[in-house]
Amino acid sequence: MAGSKLSNLTKRRQRAESSGEPFVDALRAALSHNRVKWDGASRSLHSHDASVFDGGNSGPVVYPETTAEVQAVVRLANQHGRNVVPRGAGTGLAGGAIPLGVPVVVAVTKMNAILEVDEVNRVAWVEPGVINLDLTKQLKPLGYHFAPDPSSQQVCTIGGNVANNSGGPHCLAYGVTNAHVVAMEVVLPSGDTAMLGGLEAEPQGFDLRGAFVGSEGTLGIVTKVAVRLTKNRPAVRTLLMAFDDVRDAANTVSDVIAAGIVPAAMEVMDKQITAAVENYVGAGYPVDAAAVLLAEVDGLDSGVDIDADRIAKIGRSNKATDVRLAESEAQRQLLWKGRKTAFGAVAQIAPDYYLHDTVVPRSALADVLEQIYEIADRYDLLIMNVFHAGDGNLHPLIVFDGRQEGVLERVHAAGGEIITASLDAGGVLSGEHGIGVEKQKFMSRMFTNDDLDHQNRLRQAFDPHCRTNPGKVIPSGHSCADIQSLRSVPNTVWG
């Protein structure tokens, strides 16, 4: 009798926990009930990222904690004919993490362990959910850091950095994420695992690691990453230079590189963003300047002093009205805090922004900036400029209130013209944000049909059924996703 009552209780609990959708129930059996979210709020939250693009529609959201659980999710998705979208912190700005076609969203934020720090080989093994800045904080007492430093480094994940090949202010000297990833364990779209790259000086075979970094989640899901440890330099000098003309700041950047100096970072902010940042942080920026240039050099004491002096002279020769050297580590950190919080500072002005990411030749910086200001005037929009000047990575910031009627149409139209102007100047579509859905339609402007077809062939070599982050990067007409991946899923199935 007691056994019968227990059996009935178990059956009632199982019925109560059942979602009514076999795929969701299978996921819960593989992970656990509380790590598979099927409610409307969770699905709505994971239908967006930090971009201005909407139209996402998430299926179940899962939170695996191990590689084996990621494999289980992918294999179940294959069995049930469902697509998969990997997701980190959702800080992407190109729509790369927006789920299209009601896929299962694989959120790796619970896979956030720093597994091993190998000082001998200067490598750390980390899980994809590790926060970028948290890794550097743990490495700092050992005398190392993780060099890629996106402005979102307080919240973005290593897995997201790998997906978008992220950069940051200090990528000028140290390179973007691809230069700092030596190996990865990934779960392929088949559900199998593979180790891409290796700790050897010259790993054998094709560089599939290099193909995977920057693939925006279309080739699989990274579950472990071996990242390079960058030694902290003994001396750092940070300069702030002010100019009455943005063109003079841009010319200074070009002249510094032409002089054979490769600073760790060179960042430019125009007058409007400088004023917003200063009001927000109080970093000591000159708010009357048309442009502010931050230049940083690191290395040995004698070398950085020489380089800092040479950069200052080049700035003055380009009409710098003020040249300052950070006098303490605290002052240096405050200058960089201002730069890193620039995008947050615009909330004082308007509730929304659209941040672009193109790269132009340094020699074209000034001309393209003038075109961006003209585009802003023509569309009656406020555009602020803050960018990685050293490598020509522009970040025009369109600041707006999305509640105003018709403003989004003007924002997207202006954004399209900014991308076109950058390409016409000999630039490329992205420096670090990726293609996602934002720049997808512009891929045909940059690549030939043969180029795009071969990119799609590479994708299909990893994902023959095009089930992983479908509808991203490769434009319609060239993508395996055109027919397969964005098929409608009946409401009777997904609720």
DSSP result, 123-168: EEEE-TT-BHHHHHHHHGGGTEE-----TTTTT-BHHHHHHHT---
pLDDT of 17 reads 59
Residue 6 has pLDDT above 80, yes or no: no
Mean of pLDDT values over 322-340:
95
pLDDT band at 1 (very low <50, low <70, confident <90, very high): low
pLDDT band at 2 (very low <50, low <70, confident <90, very high): low
Q: Among 232-246, 277-291, 390-404, 471-485, which is the least confidently predicted range?
A: 471-485
Task: Give the rounded distance of the alpha carbon of 322 from its chain centre.
Answer: 33
pLDDT in tens, 217-234: 999 999 999 999 999 999
Buried b (16+ CB within 10 A) or exposed e, 218-230: bbbbbbbbbbbbb
pLDDT band at 343 (very low <50, low <70, confident <90, very high): confident
pLDDT band at 201 (very low <50, low <70, confident <90, very high): confident
pLDDT of 481 reads 61
Could you give the CA distance from residue 315 to residue 318 in angstroms, rounded to a whole number?
Answer: 5
pLDDT in tens, 229-255: 999 999 999 999 999 999 999 999 999
The β-bridge relationship of strands 193-197 and 181-187 is antiparallel
Residue 322 carries which side chain, given as an amino acid letter? D
| SS3 of residue 375 by DSSP | helix
pLDDT of 20 reads 76
Domains of the chain: 2-104 (3.30.43.10), 114-231 (3.30.465.10), 235-328 (3.30.70.3450), 350-446 (3.30.70.2740)
Mean of pLDDT values over 365-394:
95
pLDDT in tens, 356-367: 999 999 999 999
Residue 482 has pLDDT above 60, yes or no: no
pLDDT in tens, 9-59: 444 444 445 667 999 999 999 999 999 999 999 999 999 999 998 889 999
Task: Give the rounded distance of the alpha carbon of 60 from its chain centre.
Answer: 24
pLDDT in tens, 97-117: 999 999 999 999 999 999 999
pLDDT of 232 reads 96
Angle at which helices 301-317 and 246-258 pack, to 10 degrees?
140
Q: Among 8-17, 165-174, 175-184, which is the least confidently predicted range?
A: 8-17
Length of the chain: 495
Q: Percent of the chain at pLDDT above 90?
A: 88
Could you give the CA distance from residue 186 to residue 224 in angstroms, rounded to a whole number?
Answer: 7
Mean of pLDDT values over 360-380:
95
Cβ count near 319 (within 10 Å): 14
pLDDT in tens, 299-320: 999 899 999 999 999 999 999 9
Helix, strand, coil shares, percent, the chain, to 5: 40, 20, 40
Could you give the CA distance from residue 41 to residue 60 in angstroms, rounded to a whole number?
Answer: 11
Mean of pLDDT values over 471-493:
62
Q: Rounded to two decimals, what is the model's pTM?
A: 0.91
Residue 194 has pLDDT above 80, yes or no: yes
pLDDT of 480 reads 73
